[in-house]
Structure 1
Amino acid sequence: MERRRSNDNGTLSQSKYREPELSNPDFELDPRNARRLIRAAEKTLPPAILKADASSGSYRRQDIKVGKVLGVGGFGHVSEVLSMKGSNDMLVMKTLVPHKNAEHALFACHHIAMEKYILSQLDHPNIIRLRGSNKGGLSAIAETARMDACFLLLDRLPETLSDRIEHWQRQQAKPKRRRSLTESLSALVISRKSFAQDPDVFREKLSIMIQIAAALEYLHSKRIILRDLKPDNVGFDMKERRVVKLFDFGMAEPLPENVDLEKTHDLAGRVGTTRYMATEVLREEPYNVKADVFSFSLVVWEVLTLERPHDRSSPDASVFGERPKIPKEWPSALKRILQRGWSDDLETRPSMIEFRLVLEDLKRQADEESDDGF
């Protein structure tokens, strides 16, 4: 679905749609403006997206007790679910927040409707599960004149990849305990082969990146471009902290069944987070699923170096040809796949299958080196 912010693509401007006014800060809208907002959403969203149902069920807002806010984004916020009728799962509720700007309010409606539509079709161990939603979808906003009447119920993820990176940074800064001679010699053998990374942390990082690659590979097989891959949108399972879960699919783009995935398509430009955005998306040029490969390459570099891409320059430095510096001691296979992954040439970029296989081979080598060392 095309979602450019322009009148040519169906998004209403201030001149066509009166801005919803908040009567108080508790999510309430003027009833007339709430109805106008949802009519605008219904006109600009395909019926399949509007009618998407969560297979796990629909719930009434009054049957759910919500606690503190866990996170706030551009279109909504996520709160902990303290209790819910008929479920003991550890969940969160994602709701929309009020927007004084009419275009932003409409875009927020698009965002949550798209996320519900996409998640309702997905079933992968490394992708967050949609556990339910409100009855009536977006129409609940018009019926109640409240932005938080529309919500999604999702698995609670206690930690993000950004949190894990900060943990590794703290670990790296800590003074190391004195090792025995045997430990020191074993670690030296492994660190030389694994380019001076702590061997256990290095294997953990590879496992995480392989899981992200597998999730993206699955999405691409479903003809979906994620478009906003970054450490903030990668979480870890509540029960098994080694299991990765991609989340936040409001920016994702499903491609029609009949299109060629190898060809580029005229889709909305500058979608996602600038720092991780592919150059063709930044330039508002046609693109395809390999936009995610570019973003993934930057995330891999960040996980291994514990530095944010372009942190010492402009977030959009990629569009000017700037790329992160790859340390010379890194394995040749890793250097090659990263250089191809963030190439401006889409044909040069590997598929996520190829990227995953390279990472799995590195993981096998690291495991073998660990066995040899100890």
Structure 2
Amino acid sequence: MSSDPSGKIVEQALGAYKKTFAESTISDTSGDFPRFAFSELTLGKRLGEGGFGVVSEVLAFDISAHEDSHRPPETSVEVETTGVEVERKEEEEDPDFQGRKFIADHCIRNDSDARYAIKILKKSLVDKADVNLMVKALADMAVETHILSAIEHPNIVKLRGVSQQGRYHPEYFIVMDRLYDTLDKRLKAWAEVFPKPPPMPKKNPPSKRQSSGSTRSTSSRASKLGCIFGRKSSQEFDDDEEKEEQDDTVEMNPTTIESSPSNLEKKKKLLEERLVACFDLASAIAYLHERNIIYRDTKPENCAFDVRGDIKLFDFGTAKELPPQNSKRDLTFNLTGMTGSLPWMAPEVAKSDPYNHKVDVFSFAVLLWQIVALEMPFKEYESDLRLFWEEVHNGPHKRPEIPRLGWPKPIELCMRRGWAKEPSERMEMKQIENILRKEIIRVRKGDDAGLRHDRRRSTFVFRR
């Protein structure tokens, strides 16, 4: 890669970083994490890339060749005078050495898969030497490092180490857990298991009337989920209500969905898997909001599954800590507009109006619809962004269509109250998290296993 960025770029990136955390109550603890040189890494395949960074798996950390240069000078002098035993003692007492060794020793799983990955700036970006892009990229990496060093949640990717090079060096990187399928890939896989039925012949002309505030079409796949959900609320089912729900379940058209017990059980498992993913993401975002952090880019490409199948939120370059005044929960702030990705972006962000943490609620509600419906939201606007702007972010404020029958009222409530036009009318993420927990327990017939995030801990974590 190129040499260090010019002083002007570093100065501007540092200024942007400091501005982001000017009133911060979040401590930057990245200095407590193990540090590695880029030359110590053996990289495997490229896993993905974003606007500025690229993520690659790490096959090995070769720390032995660099321990002499990594060790503080006074340690080297003592080793020369007292021998190997003191050298070992110094290494054992050096927390950074212990952390480096721990990660190096556990780099590969028993099944030969890489446990860690790094995120580093794209070489093409560095070579391009565009001052504005480099400032934004370096500042984003610094922000992501700061935030990830200070948070810990089972559904947020964990920071494991950082680069020995300074944050504003083009080879600066962060070490994280290696993730596998992104949510957008998993959505496609789920859709293949639950294929869209062929269109039914129409006996009557389609009605011109549309659901108020919804976009123009929803696939028959989405409207037939009632046979799995049941068509009742998740609140307090007694035996009679469960019997009625079972009666509802068999009232489906066999030409539109296979109704064999084995097929329904398969679809129920698929539904449960998707609801758990939604619940886990809701919990992660609620956790951030409790710490006054907004994520601002909730979308399938920023969610991925680890080796155990747990979904994780990653890519915190656009995350932002709100001013302390946000504890009142109803204030809005003049923050950067057009941040995030358009289909999931709240109207106030798209229009560069003042906003707060409720923008994440909007994005999550659209993502929730996408996971339940297994359809791309607002796909009818893909070729007409002007119409999207007029009908979704303005005017009628259309939203993805929710079928009249088939989806539980609590799930509908999360969507409708999540993507409401007025931020003040939107739910809090904690409310959505609690509703989704109840829905999962209902689908599981009372089983709440794995729904207590405070009891889940990641393995292979070095703690000082």
Q: Which category describes the TM-score, using the shorter chain as reference length?
A: 0.7 to 0.9
Q: How far off is 1:347 after superposition?
A: 1.3
Q: How far off is 1:170 after superposition?
A: 1.4
* Alpha-carbon distance in structure 2 between the residues aligned to 1:276 and 1:293: 10
| Change over 3 Å in CA distance of 1:327–1:104 after alignment to 2 | same
3-state SS of 1:131 partner? strand
Q: Do 1:52 and 1:116's aligned partners in 2 also have CA atoms closer than 8 Å? A: no
Deviations 1:250-289 (A, max 9, x none): 0000123344332111111110111111111011011111
What corresponds to 1:43 in structure 2? 15
Q: For the pair shown, which has the larger CA radius of gyration, 1 or 2?
A: 2
What corresponds to 2:116 in structure 1? 91
Q: How far off is 1:366 after superposition?
A: 1.4
| Change over 3 Å in CA distance of 1:58–1:47 after alignment to 2 | farther
Are residues 1:326 and 2:298 paired?
no
What corresponds to 1:121 in structure 2? 150
Q: How far off is 1:52 after superposition?
A: 5.5
* Alpha-carbon distance in structure 1 between the residues aligned to 2:376 and 2:352: 23
Query: What letter corresponds to residue 11 of structure 2 in structure 1?
Result: R
What are the equivalent positions in structure 2 for 1:1-374 lying under 5 Å apart?
27-29=1-3, 33-46=5-18, 53-84=30-61, 85=63, 86=101, 87=104, 88-89=106-107, 90-97=115-122, 98=126, 99-139=128-168, 141=169, 147=170, 149-173=171-195, 190=228, 192-193=230-231, 198-238=267-307, 240-241=308-309, 243-260=310-327, 261-313=329-381, 314=385, 316=389, 318-320=392-394, 321-329=397-405, 330-368=407-445
Query: What letter corresponds to residue 93 of structure 1 in structure 2?
Result: I
Q: How far off is 1:55 after superposition?
A: 3.0
Normalising to structure 1: TM-score of the pair?
0.80
Q: How far off is 1:193 after superposition?
A: 4.5
| Change over 3 Å in CA distance of 1:107–1:52 after alignment to 2 | farther
Q: How far off is 1:136 after superposition?
A: 4.1
3-state SS of 1:109 partner? helix
* Alpha-carbon distance in structure 1 between the residues aligned to 2:189 and 2:57: 23
Q: Do 1:54 and 1:132's aligned partners in 2 also have CA atoms closer than 8 Å? A: no
Query: What letter corresponds to residue 70 of structure 1 in structure 2?
Result: L
* Alpha-carbon distance in structure 1 between the residues aligned to 2:272 and 2:362: 22
Moved more, 253-262 or 305-314: 253-262
What corresponds to 2:242 in structure 1? none
Q: Do 1:210 and 1:359's aligned partners in 2 also have CA atoms closer than 8 Å? A: yes
Q: Do 1:38 and 1:138's aligned partners in 2 also have CA atoms closer than 8 Å? A: no
Query: What letter corresponds to residue 113 of structure 1 in structure 2?
Result: A
* Alpha-carbon distance in structure 1 between the residues aligned to 2:228 and 2:163: 52
Higher relative contact order, chain-length normalized (CA < 8 Å, sep 6+): 2
Deviations 1:2-27 (A, max 9, x none): xxxxxxxxxxxxxxxxxxxxxxxxx3
3-state SS of 2:283 partner? helix
* Alpha-carbon distance in structure 2 between the residues aligned to 1:191 and 1:34: 58
Q: How far off is 1:160 after superposition?
A: 1.3
* Alpha-carbon distance in structure 1 between the residues aligned to 2:422 and 2:146: 31
For the aligned residue pairs, the C-alpha RMSD in angstroms reads: 2.6
Aligned length: 322
Query: What letter corresponds to residue 361 of structure 1 in structure 2?
Result: K
| Change over 3 Å in CA distance of 1:298–1:46 after alignment to 2 | same
Deviations 1:141-186 (A, max 9, x none): 2xxxxx2x111111000111111101111112399xxxxxxxxxxx
* Alpha-carbon distance in structure 2 between the residues aligned to 1:72 and 1:358: 34
* Alpha-carbon distance in structure 1 between the residues aligned to 2:19 and 2:423: 32
| Change over 3 Å in CA distance of 1:302–1:174 after alignment to 2 | closer
* Alpha-carbon distance in structure 2 between the residues aligned to 1:61 and 1:34: 20
Query: What letter corresponds to residue 296 of structure 2 in structure 1?
Result: R
Query: What letter corresponds to residue 92 of structure 1 in structure 2?
Result: A
Query: What letter corresponds to residue 278 of structure 1 in structure 2?
Result: A
3-state SS of 1:296 partner? helix
Q: How far off is 1:101 after superposition?
A: 2.6
Percent identity, please: 31
Query: What letter corresponds to residue 318 of structure 1 in structure 2?
Result: V
What corresponds to 1:12 in structure 2? none
| Change over 3 Å in CA distance of 1:44–1:361 after alignment to 2 | closer
* Alpha-carbon distance in structure 1 between the residues aligned to 2:21 and 2:229: 50
* Alpha-carbon distance in structure 1 between the residues aligned to 2:230 and 2:287: 34
Moved more, 346-355 or 197-206: 197-206
